[in-house]
Chains A and B, each alone.
Chain A
Amino acid sequence: MASANFFPYSVNSLVRLIVQFPLFAYIVGFLEDFVIGIMRTGPIPKHIALIMDGNRTYAKNHRLPLKDGHFAGANALVKVLEVCYKVGIDQVTIYAFSLENFNRSKEEVDTLFGMLRDKLKLISENEESYARYNKVRIKVIGNRSFIPDDILKDLEYIEQITKEKSSRKTLHVCFPYTARDEITHSIKSIVQKRVLGEIESQDDITAATIEENFYFGKDVYPLDILVRTSGHTRLSDFMLWQCNEGCTIEFPDVLWPDFGFLCIVSVLFKWSYYKTIQLEEEAIQGKKPNLKEVIPPVLLHELPSPPPAASVSRK
């Protein structure tokens, strides 16, 4: 389904080659801004999540060391983030590191940890750096007990300096995260609150309570789009609770470092197209009223008693 809408790899690399000439770069940048300007006039998703899969396959295909594959992935991420925020998406969630990734070699895990910290530092260090200039709040989502102390300290500092800005743009970095761990964490904290008496009765526990106790916290929009690159049609333990209702899931057959402007824009365009149709249908037919509230059930014996029953044949 998705593959038909994406350019194959060779075209993508050709485009990248052309983009590198300064004059072309200027023209391409202008065109990109034009496309973004067009998209901004349509419906825009509020929350998009990205599973960045394919860095290692990319490195293997290009005969590069693993590290360079991850580096190319990080560059692609910066580009995609820029497009997302320019289009007007408020919240972007990226799957940076899974709890299962600890199964990888220690060397690679350390590289990933270090690179993530360096990249986040780079975009938030100075007043002029990307995140602070564009007022993007960075939030680390996940089980912090697995992060080494020195890296955790840096991450908390990054969260701190980007927090002060009163902005709606947020970047959720899932690190280290799995959806099952998140649901477990939520149930655990609910049980703890129940023991402490913060939740008074078991009837107060609803699906909303579980969502509030996620790592994401309360002020998060429902997920609109989930993108998993590299063509695998699995969710790999990412945002399972959030993505199974009212969310468009895309599995483009592109490796993450090749996931460029055209790919992200086509995903957004497709969503925008179907959303427009949905809005149109709602405008024509009107939103269906909530049956549950409009027709409340009535108890029969509560009704006023009917007139006496009479029969013609019997006396």
Chain B
Amino acid sequence: MANILETVGLNSQADATLDQVTADATATTKSRRRKGIIVQPENVNEQLKTDRRQPPSSNRTTNPLTVSLGLTRDLVKQNKTTNSVLELIGFYINHFILLSLFFVISIFKNIQFAYRYMFLKVLTLSYYPNKSPQVIREDVNKLSKIPKVVSCILDLKDDEDENGGVLGLTNQIGELAAWCISAGIGQLIIYEYSGVLNQSSESLTSLSRYISKNLTLYFGTDTKPTFSITIPHKNLITFSEGASSTNRKVDLEISLISYVDGKPTIVDLARTMGELAVNGELSPKDINAELIDGELTDLVGPEPDLLISFAPSLDLEDYPPWHIRLTEIYWEPDNKEVSYPIFIRALQQFSNCKVNIGK
């Protein structure tokens, strides 16, 4: 009863400022913790998604109308305390020029968006894989080199959207797997921030079944390539049908990673090393970059050679920091789809880049 009252109390304060609500909420949490009726949620991934800081450029719901609305609001709103009237007038003149410039930029960005949208459509027409590995291999064979390990950042979209939800993700991974095998790439790392696909072995089995189904569309039923799917965080691995019976190497290793494989894993590593050092099993002097690199490669996977982001602007989304040291990053501005032209253009950029460590 008391709990319900508290919740109602919170809702009735909806008009109060955010700070107050948060402060109240913290107070409630604290009192509950004292009463011992709070358990820490085990899976906070969903909530973390809302907490994540995003770079300002990841916003794409802009048009001249919203900008002009903001313009008028900003002109009315007083957000600086200045001493003299002259300074105040100067400030507003400058601010007005700034906002007018932003307005011009917003028009320009909309034109640019339309142009890029058409550009991507043309690309989709000119690079159409037609679900045929020969076409993809032919595209790839024009390049001087291909990466060993490719990583892709995928976004979980709303269920209502096109290619949204878990099914959309599964579909995208299936396509990426087929492209990678056709291109001759041996390892694919899929990064999805919240890790919806990494939760259980059931989701792994259904993903594996879907990928096999998709591969038959490319390679036919008899000569299906083999693959394995790993979830490093849960230590789970599944092999496709052909691979489990014979003991040969698989054609593609897929691993699914998420937010927890990044900074939290490094924190865990620091904790474990701390415990080992306290028990005298590890000396702090022995900790070096090679040791940590070895541990993190075991825990998360290798450093990718190419990172493809399928988001409209470059946002690393808390990708494991240790693993992006020399990774070539590719993204297509204003693109929201996981499409073949993006994939092949990323490979083209990789083949043109020259890596010279330090030199």
B325 touches A202 (CB 8 A): no
Quick one: CB contact mask for B25-68 with A, threshold 8 Å, 1 for yes? 11011001000011101001001001111111101011000110
B321 touches A183 (CB 8 A): yes
State whether the Cβ of B289 lies closer than 8 Å to any Cβ in chain A: yes
Known A42-B98, A180-B293, A195-B284: A104·B359 in contact at CB below 8 Å: yes
State whether the Cβ of B318 lies closer than 8 Å to any Cβ in chain A: yes
Known A180-B293, A293-B25: A41·B274 in contact at CB below 8 Å: no
Name the segment of A121-129, A148-156, A159-167, A294-302 touching the other chain.
A294-302
Give the residue of B47, B316, B357, B358 whose beta carbon is less than 8 angstroms from that of A244. B316
**8 A Cβ contacts from B270-307 to A:** 270-271, 273-275, 277-278, 282, 284, 287-289, 292-293
State whether the Cβ of B221 lies closer than 8 Å to any Cβ in chain A: no
B70 touches A280 (CB 8 A): yes
Q: How many residues of B contact A (CB 8 A)?
A: 89
A102 touches B358 (CB 8 A): yes
Give the chain A neighbours of B326 by CB distance below 8 A: 234-237
Known A235-B327, A273-B105: A41·B358 in contact at CB below 8 Å: no
**8 A Cβ contacts from A249-275 to B:** 249, 269-275
Give the chain A neighbours of B66 by CB distance below 8 A: 277, 280
Give the chain B neighbours of A82 by CB distance below 8 A: none
What separation, in Å, do the CA atoms of A79 and B274 have in the docked complex?
45
B324 touches A296 (CB 8 A): no
A41 touches B98 (CB 8 A): yes
What separation, in Å, do the CA atoms of A98 and B275 have in the docked complex?
32
Q: How many A-B residue pairs have CB under 8 A?
A: 225
State whether the Cβ of A187 lies closer than 8 Å to any Cβ in chain B: yes
Give the chain A neighbours of B355 by CB distance below 8 A: 234
B50 touches A232 (CB 8 A): no
Main secondary structure of the interface of A (DSSP, over half): helix
Give the chain B neighbours of A275 by CB distance below 8 A: 56
A234 touches B328 (CB 8 A): yes
State whether the Cβ of B143 lies closer than 8 Å to any Cβ in chain A: no
State whether the Cβ of B238 lies closer than 8 Å to any Cβ in chain A: no
Give, as a whole number of angstroms, the nearest-CB distance from A310 to chain B. Answer: 22
State whether the Cβ of B220 lies closer than 8 Å to any Cβ in chain A: no
What separation, in Å, do the CA atoms of A192 and B273 have in the docked complex?
10
A202 touches B359 (CB 8 A): no
Give the residue of A222, A233, A271 whose beta carbon is less than 8 angstroms from that of B330. A233
What separation, in Å, do the CA atoms of A295 and B11 have in the docked complex?
11
State whether the Cβ of A110 lies closer than 8 Å to any Cβ in chain B: no
Give the chain A neighbours of B51 by CB distance below 8 A: 290, 292
Give, as a whole number of angstroms, the nearest-CB distance from A255 to chain B. Answer: 15
What separation, in Å, do the CA atoms of A195 and B90 have in the docked complex?
58
B57 touches A100 (CB 8 A): no
State whether the Cβ of A283 lies closer than 8 Å to any Cβ in chain B: yes
Give the residue of A39, A222, A232, A277 whose beta carbon is less than 8 angstroms from that of B353. A232
B289 touches A181 (CB 8 A): yes
- 11 A-B residue pairs with Cβ-Cβ distance under 8 Å, sorted by A, are A180-B293, A187-B266, A202-B275, A210-B266, A222-B53, A246-B53, A271-B56, A278-B54, A292-B51, A293-B29, A296-B32
